[in-house]
Amino acid sequence: MNRFELKRAGGLLALSGLALAVTAAMAESPKDGHAGMKKEGMAYEGAPTAVDPATTKDLIGGDGPEMTTAEFDQAKKLFFQRCAGCHGVLRKGATGKPLTTDKTRQLGTPYLKAMITYGSPAGMPNWGTSGDLSETEIDLMARYLQHEPPVPPEYGMQKMKETWKVLVPPERRPTKQMNSLKVENLFSVTLRDAGKIALIDGDSKAIVTIIDTGYAVHISRLSASGRYLFVIGRDAKINLIDLWMDPPQNVAEMKVGLEARSVETSKFKGMEDKYAIIGTYWPPQYVIMKGDTLEPLKIVSTRGMTVDTQEYHPEPRVAAIVASHHHPEFIVNVKETGKVLLVNFKDLDNLKVTEIAAAPFLHDGGWDATQRYFLAAANKSNKIAVVDSKDQKLAALIEVGAIPHPGRGANFVDPEHGPVWATSHLGDNSVVLIGTDPEGHPDQAWKVVRKLEGQGGGSLFIKTHPNSKHLYVDTALNSVEKLSQTVAVFDTDNLKAKYKVLPIAEWADVGEGAKRVVQPEYNKAGDEVWFSVWNAKDKQSAIVIVDDKTLKPKHVIKDDRLITPTGKFNVYNTVHDVY
């Protein structure tokens, strides 16, 4: 044998040992697929990318295994649907590990097939033994991963302006509210698979209207005035909705890229609603627009070096964005590079950006109760980054649990430690409380002051309200049904007591299906909590409303138009960052 053959043989022997070990573990725990891994650690599975595989530039050939064009196209569609959400469009890694060709070719086809089939203790789904992928599809994927990743097209100003539509110009919009809705207690509800939102009256619980939007709306954000609703789809389509019209309707729209997650409007005093900003996943950039028309004004790339290894990253996606109250700035989380950008919009022609080194991979986050400190999850680093928006610097990096995923987080007063902000986790069952009062409680500030034990991992959102004594934690992505269909509730006055479990999906009474319970959201008064019961698009879903005082079901909204409801955003709470 030559040197290459010896190396290859050694790799195959190592692979055989791995495959045998994994197979043995599967025999012991056939439903698990991840030897030695708790189920809550396997709960997270990336959403499909919104990038159209047909638009990519294919790079078939080179040193990768032989593939036909048809095979490559099929594998590409599978990757974009199943894998890109975790590993990235360019396979540089994020929640999942990097799958670049320098690694995949060294591992080889048999190893990759075993990994895809059985998964890994690090949380890789067992695509083969679960039945999600066939042996043929796994073979395709193993060979595909050894070719250079297809590159989606860029998206610049010309393309944006081709899609930009002002449906109702500002001068033709009403000068006063034309409907009788109590706008402050409206809920914008994502109808994920329908490509729509539902506006639901918080008092009557009636669906006011259904509005077409982009696909799989990620978030809804409100203008500082509370009049305009900004809705961003995963397909990077932005809709501007005027809540004063009768009925509320789209007044402007635009597509800003191929995939996006975040939108925000300016809130600095004197510049409220002057600008809006969207952060995209592909291309990796952010766009500053006029706040009343969505006219694109400035596009800024986020490609650059990572904060830890100082290596170039071609796909640093923009995650959470919040608007500073202390400076004319947007605070922008750049996922893969681990940078927080303070983007000063006072002079767009001479844009000033302050770069703060935090940790990868920055994701979601929210304000402390004073709206001075922005706390953001660096989920693969298992840290929370604290940014002082007033002094424009990093205040702390705090070690927490496995893969923090707080949504906006939750602010309340711990009876022993004072003001805290809380996060739950995708990768373990902990709920971590961080002290947020450096002036009144300096010894507790930016430290984990308490760790609660929740139901399990797979948590996406945690929520409370200034008028409530309860803390709600969902476990929507947990692999155990009784956990994904219920929520845990803690008493914030007695945090040493065990949580209570609310059977939200049972209360919904929607029949068969996954019935994942996701994202608690309070009404304006803070006396009731809304939960989405998220079922498949061909099954019935619902919204369950719980009385916060009694923890009993108060109302269930069922309607054929409620297709895969997920996120819910109360107008008042979103405008004022109440969480």
Task: List beta partners, residue 265.
Answer: 276
Half-sphere exposure of 196 (CA within 13 A, CB side): 15
Peptide bond into 361 cis (omega under 30): yes
Catalytic residues: 83, 86-87, 124, 363, 405
- The CA distances from residue 203 to 150, 179, 282, in Å, are 49, 15, 39
Hunting for tokens 């791995």 — which residue is that? 18
**Joined tokens for residue 504:** 């939200």
Peptide bond into 419 cis (omega under 30): no
> Is residue 251 within 8 Å of 167, Cβ to Cβ?
yes
Q: Are strands 528-534 and 165-166 parallel, antiparallel or unpaired?
A: unpaired
**Joined tokens for residue 234:** 């995963």
- Distance CA(43)–CA(28), nearest Å, equals 20
Degrees, nearest 5: CA angle 324-330-335: 120
- Distance CA(215)–CA(49), nearest Å, equals 11
Q: What is the SS3 string spanning 463-474?
A: ECCCCCCEEEEE
- Distance CA(421)–CA(176), nearest Å, equals 38
Q: Long-range contacts made by residues 388-393, C-beta under 8 angstroms, separation at least 24?
A: 389/324, 389/325, 389/326, 389/327, 389/329, 389/331, 389/342, 390/326, 390/327, 392/327, 392/342, 392/354, 392/356, 393/356
Q: What is the SS3 string spanning 520-532?
A: EEECCCCCEEEEE
- Distance CA(230)–CA(524), nearest Å, equals 19
- Distance CA(450)–CA(495), nearest Å, equals 9
Q: What is the DSSP letter of 151?
A: B
**Joined tokens for residue 296:** 């694109």
Q: Are strands 470-474 and 383-388 parallel, antiparallel or unpaired?
A: unpaired
> Is residue 565 within 8 Å of 534, Cβ to Cβ?
yes
Selection from 553, 539, 544, 491 nearest residue 517 by Cα: 544
Burial of residue 201 (number of CB atoms within 10 Å: 0-12, 13-18, 19+): middle
User: Computed over its alpha carbons, how large is the radius of gyration of the chain?
Assistant: 24
**Joined tokens for residue 265:** 């409007």
